Structure 1
Amino acid sequence: MTVPAPGAGRLPDGFAVRLDPRTRRRDGGATLLGGSPLRLLRLAPRARTLLAGDRLAVRDAVSAQLAARLLDAGLAHPEPGPSPEPDVTVVVPVRDRPAALARLLAALAGDPATAALPVVVVDDGSAEPVASAGAARVVRHPVPRGPAAARNSGLAAATTAFVAFLDSDCVPRPGWLDALLPHLADPSLAAVAPRIVPLPGARRGWVSPYEDLASALDMGPRPAAVRPSSAVSYVPSAALLVRRAAVGSGFDEAMRVAEDVDLVWRLTAAGWRVRYEPAAEVAHEHPAALAEWLRRRAFYGTGAALLAQRHGAAVSPLVIAPETGLTWALLLAGGRPGRLAALGLLGATAVRLTRRLRRPGERAPVGLAAALTARGLVASGRSLAGTATRHHWPLSLVAAVVSRRARRGLGAVALADGLLTWWPRRGRIGPVRHTVARRLEDLAYGGGLWLGVLRARDVRALLPVRPPS
């Protein structure tokens, strides 16, 4: 069980935030556009004065409130400050990985920032018990209880204010902890995660070049607020720094998969902040064998139904407004009359948005409304294509079998998606390998998703939802 966030835990004086480079100022700085999901934030005159540049330092209650609003909207990110003394215990869950465990412990002991930290190794029922782990304390489960239970045992054994979870197949890079610790100056921060990167020198396989670039554990190069339905909706527990006072008893031990997503969503629902900080890096030994990689992707997919039972619509594969869905239906299946109707619907959507964005005494922001409408249509189109090839591919396959038009459309979408996602990665992987690996990944994840839905007898993980108003 997580703990509600402290209501009076304002950002301390000296804490600073800086606008995300993608945040756009409009109306002479009176309006900010950005974040994820995209939002428009109007600034009061006092706030506009405080945020004259791209940086805001907290000096009083008003600036603290503005900084918190910018953080929560995803419009700004914390600026690194001095690293506090690390009151941190490192918890390492492990099962049958003696060589990987030794490698991780050696890396911790060789890093001046972590050499003196207490380490708790939780042996989750290894066939060959972990007898000793250097200076680390060993807690043993006589029988395997799963990663959530292993982490909880380490959490219960820790006495420090913060706990850093590191899986045994990880190796943190120098400076990882120093990049995470400044975030803890925010008293409402429950957890912060580093970026997961490939482990140099690890075994390689056919899928390795793709996994290096598109690992499900890698949340990308940009810092972010972590919350459902955003660009970074979760962070993996393979490497995670948490505040013990926030996480309570920790992970849900009934979940053998997606327990990290569940923890993050419980924390944000309780009012805590969770951050992703890619300046900190932890290397991970990715699966190299194709069969092992596909099994793991399918296993991840089975967790969606468990999350739907606990968090409902937060796990939906598609967030789309009804009018946007109707627009795409008309564009794809309505012929020329349908396309004309879709354009009319888009125009009506832009007009409504113009009215919502217009401020008294100012010109109607027609251009902005049109741009946001077009942007929303493109984004929803990509989401629809993604669900067709990933979450709903069994339905797409049935449609392709019975309809030549659907077959051509599905093939075009699968190829276009592979090439569009390959293009930013060109030079590091070939288009054929990338596209084939992406399609295999989608088939494995989607298959696991449907298996989990059937087991749970709960279809909410497959259903679209409308965006919050």
Structure 2
Amino acid sequence: MNPPQSRLPNGFTVRLNRRTRFAGAGRELIGGSPTRVLYLSEAASKMIEGRTAVVTSTGTGLLVDRLLQAAMADPVLESLTEVDTDSVTVVVPVFGRPHALARLLKSIGQAYRVIVVDDCSPDPAAISAVVHEHAAELVCLPRNAGPAQARNEGLRRVTTPYVAFADSDVVVAPNTISLLLKHFNDQRVALVGPRIYGLDNGIGMNWIERYEEARSSLDLGKHPAPVRPRSPVSWLPGAFLVGRVDALGDGFRDGSRVGEDVDLVWRLAQEGWRVRFEPEARVWHEHRQSLGEWLSRKAFYGTSAHPLSLQHPEAVAPAVFAPWSAAVMAVLLCQRSWSLPVAGVICAGAAWRISRKLSRSSRPNRIAISLTLRAVMGSLTQVMALLVRHWWPVAVGGSLVSGRLRRALVLSCVADAAWEYCRTRPQLDPLRFALARRIDDLAYGTGVWLGAVKGRSARCLLPDIRRNPN
């Protein structure tokens, strides 16, 4: 189903996000995903006061819709009306772990209809006892089909406008569902996800759990964001999601056991729906505690890259470069005396070409230089990620015979760990954080390579170089 034409209600308020800035005496907005310059008429510029815009008329509605679509602004939850909690049904896929299921159902409470789908658990009687104790509904599958199909079985039984998918190993805050439902004031929103924290089981966290608390694959950060391919937040974890039933259609891809959440988000985005990440809503996830289980799970996540590359070849590339930024990275990796001057010349040429496209701007050269530097920093980050994560087998092998590659690899390892440590401020010493960061990337990269070898395709390992990279 395609999304309806956006009709934002009066009072719907958005705030420009941290990546968006003004230029040209308030008549130009720079930001979004992909980064762009949005030119405002005098009337439109006056609709934005204190970095916020409120829907009060057709004109303000169109502006707010455009800001949302450009990923320049995020909804202000306080401005959105409550959605009736009777309009949502909770679907819980479960395979074993009756104690975790009981903990989840207790956190959800009795305010919602809950459907538990038992994916052929080893002890179905234990699951049944927990379900009946919490007055939920039970659906039993005849064979283990995986979480995607289990969620779909529950979705087929949902009669409400909205559905919440909750994995059994999470705990939900009392206001999580009601906060997420507010986003459906925007009729083009199909799916919303909360921020996912690590669950403290009361006996303290070991070093793996403390690393996951700071740098979990499931924690998408503290800032609200639109979710779409090739944006800062490009997917939502299936651990907890709230969706519009009409938009979801048949739900997750049947038979998929990994990456089904990414696939759903990307399909909705391709159809024109909006997907949102809302960090004010909170869920706690029981992270893996042992090193073996943790690394196995990271590698398992990595294996999703190959099937996703078949379903979404335009979105799954591990890095995306413009031709000029790829050339800059190649020149810098050569580490010759001429590398910096040549890279500077290429960047100057790119800035000049960008400035030619900004003829309407009041200061095209300044904006072009800023956009060029931002692109270079983003490319450097992607190259480091390739060396330490997706391409590590090649990088390690090549570093045995190439001093230049060895220096690039060591620098990437140190710089990446130092940056993430300063950014996340973990409750973990720098040495163990750096160690966890590196083996996290090694495990995920190993999974990517295993999937590529099994699928006999290197597509999920190849960067995308295009003139319009986003």
CA distance in structure 2 between the aligned counterparts of 1:375 and 1:84, rounded to whole angstroms: 40
Which residue of structure 2 aligns with residue 40 of structure 1? Answer: 37
CA contact (8 A) 2:195 2:221 kept: yes
The answer to whether 1:305 aligns with 2:306 is: yes
CA offset at residue 24 of structure 1? 0.7
Which residue of structure 2 aligns with residue 277 of structure 1? Answer: 278
Q: 1:61 is matched with which residue: 58, 61, 66?
A: 58
Deviates more, 1:78-87 or 1:431-440: 78-87
CA distance in structure 2 between the aligned counterparts of 1:53 and 1:126, rounded to whole angstroms: 54
CA contact (8 A) 1:206 1:289 kept: no
CA contact (8 A) 1:206 1:290 kept: no
Instruction: Summarize deviations over 1:233-261 as a string: whole Å, max 9, x none.
Output: 00011000000000001000121100000
CA contact (8 A) 2:225 2:278 kept: yes
Return the letter of the residue paired with 1:131: S
Which residue of structure 1 aligns with residue 25 of structure 2? Answer: 28
Q: Secondary structure at the match of 2:357?
A: helix
The answer to whether 1:12 aligns with 2:9 is: yes
Return the letter of the residue paired with 2:122: A
The answer to whether 1:179 aligns with 2:179 is: yes
Instruction: Summarize deviations over 1:370-421 as a string: whole Å, max 9, x none.
Output: 2221221111111101111100111101211222332232122212211121
CA offset at residue 93 of structure 1? 0.6
CA distance in structure 1 between the aligned counterparts of 2:426 and 2:438, rounded to whole angstroms: 20
CA distance in structure 1 between the aligned counterparts of 2:148 and 2:424, rounded to whole angstroms: 34
CA contact (8 A) 2:14 2:73 kept: yes
CA contact (8 A) 2:119 2:145 kept: yes
CA distance in structure 1 between the aligned counterparts of 2:200 and 2:467, rounded to whole angstroms: 42
Which residue of structure 2 aligns with residue 112 of structure 1? Answer: none
Return the letter of the residue paired with 1:450: W
Return the letter of the residue paired with 1:175: N
CA offset at residue 349 of structure 1? 1.1
CA distance in structure 2 between the aligned counterparts of 1:164 and 1:426, rounded to whole angstroms: 32
CA distance in structure 1 between the aligned counterparts of 2:215 and 2:415, rounded to whole angstroms: 17
Q: Secondary structure at the match of 1:83?
A: coil
Which residue of structure 2 aligns with residue 464 of structure 1? Answer: 463
The answer to whether 1:127 aligns with 2:122 is: yes
CA distance in structure 2 between the aligned counterparts of 1:257 and 1:202, rounded to whole angstroms: 30
Which residue of structure 1 aligns with residue 92 of structure 2? Answer: 92
CA distance in structure 2 between the aligned counterparts of 1:456 and 1:161, rounded to whole angstroms: 38
Which residue of structure 2 aligns with residue 118 of structure 1? Answer: 113
Identity score, percent: 43
Which residue of structure 1 aligns with residue 453 of structure 2? Answer: 454
CA offset at residue 334 of structure 1? 5.4
CA distance in structure 2 between the aligned counterparts of 1:61 and 1:251, rounded to whole angstroms: 36
TM-score of the pair, normalised by structure 2: 0.94
Q: Which runs of 5+ in 2 are unaligned?
A: none
CA offset at residue 37 of structure 1? 3.0
CA distance in structure 1 between the aligned counterparts of 2:119 and 2:335, rounded to whole angstroms: 57
Moved over 4 A (4+): none
CA distance in structure 2 between the aligned counterparts of 1:430 and 1:159, rounded to whole angstroms: 50
Which residue of structure 2 aligns with residue 261 of structure 1? Answer: 262
CA offset at residue 364 of structure 1? 4.5
CA offset at residue 317 of structure 1? 0.5
Map residues 357-396 of structure 1 onto 2, 5 A cutoff.
357-359=358-360, 364-396=363-395
Return the letter of the residue paired with 2:121: S
Q: Secondary structure at the match of 1:139?
A: strand
Instruction: Summarize deviations over 1:331-353 as a string: whole Å, max 9, x none.
Output: 23152233322211111111111
Q: Secondary structure at the match of 1:275?
A: strand
CA distance in structure 2 between the aligned counterparts of 1:224 and 1:310, rounded to whole angstroms: 24
Map residues 349-364 of structure 1 onto 2, 5 A cutoff.
349-359=350-360, 364=363
CA contact (8 A) 1:169 1:284 kept: yes
CA distance in structure 1 between the aligned counterparts of 2:97 and 2:244, rounded to whole angstroms: 27
CA distance in structure 2 between the aligned counterparts of 1:274 and 1:51, rounded to whole angstroms: 24
CA offset at residue 457 of structure 1? 1.8
CA distance in structure 1 between the aligned counterparts of 2:228 and 2:148, rounded to whole angstroms: 20
| RMSD between superposed Cα atoms in Å | 1.6
CA distance in structure 2 between the aligned counterparts of 1:121 and 1:63, rounded to whole angstroms: 43
Which residue of structure 1 aligns with residue 234 of structure 2? Answer: 233
CA offset at residue 302 of structure 1? 0.3
Which residue of structure 2 aligns with residue 413 of structure 1? Answer: 412
CA distance in structure 1 between the aligned counterparts of 2:202 and 2:94, rounded to whole angstroms: 18
CA contact (8 A) 2:119 2:141 kept: yes
Q: 1:225 to 1:427 in 2, by over 3 A?
A: closer
Which residue of structure 2 aligns with residue 347 of structure 1? Answer: 348
CA offset at residue 202 of structure 1? 5.8
CA contact (8 A) 1:192 1:240 kept: yes
CA offset at residue 45 of structure 1? 2.8
CA contact (8 A) 2:214 2:425 kept: no
CA offset at residue 54 of structure 1? 2.0
Instruction: Summarize deviations over 1:411-441 as a string: whole Å, max 9, x none.
Output: 2221221112112334622111111101101
CA distance in structure 2 between the aligned counterparts of 1:56 and 1:409, rounded to whole angstroms: 45
CA contact (8 A) 2:211 2:426 kept: no
CA offset at residue 467 of structure 1? 4.9
Q: 1:103 to 1:120 in 2, by over 3 A?
A: same
Which residue of structure 1 aligns with residue 158 of structure 2? Answer: 158
Which residue of structure 1 aligns with residue 244 of structure 2? Answer: 243
CA contact (8 A) 2:108 2:174 kept: no
CA distance in structure 1 between the aligned counterparts of 2:396 and 2:9, rounded to whole angstroms: 54
CA distance in structure 2 between the aligned counterparts of 1:200 and 1:394, rounded to whole angstroms: 35
Return the letter of the residue paired with 1:446: G
Return the letter of the residue paired with 1:34: G
Which residue of structure 1 aligns with residue 253 of structure 2? Answer: 252
Q: Which runs of 5+ in 1 are unaligned?
A: 110-114
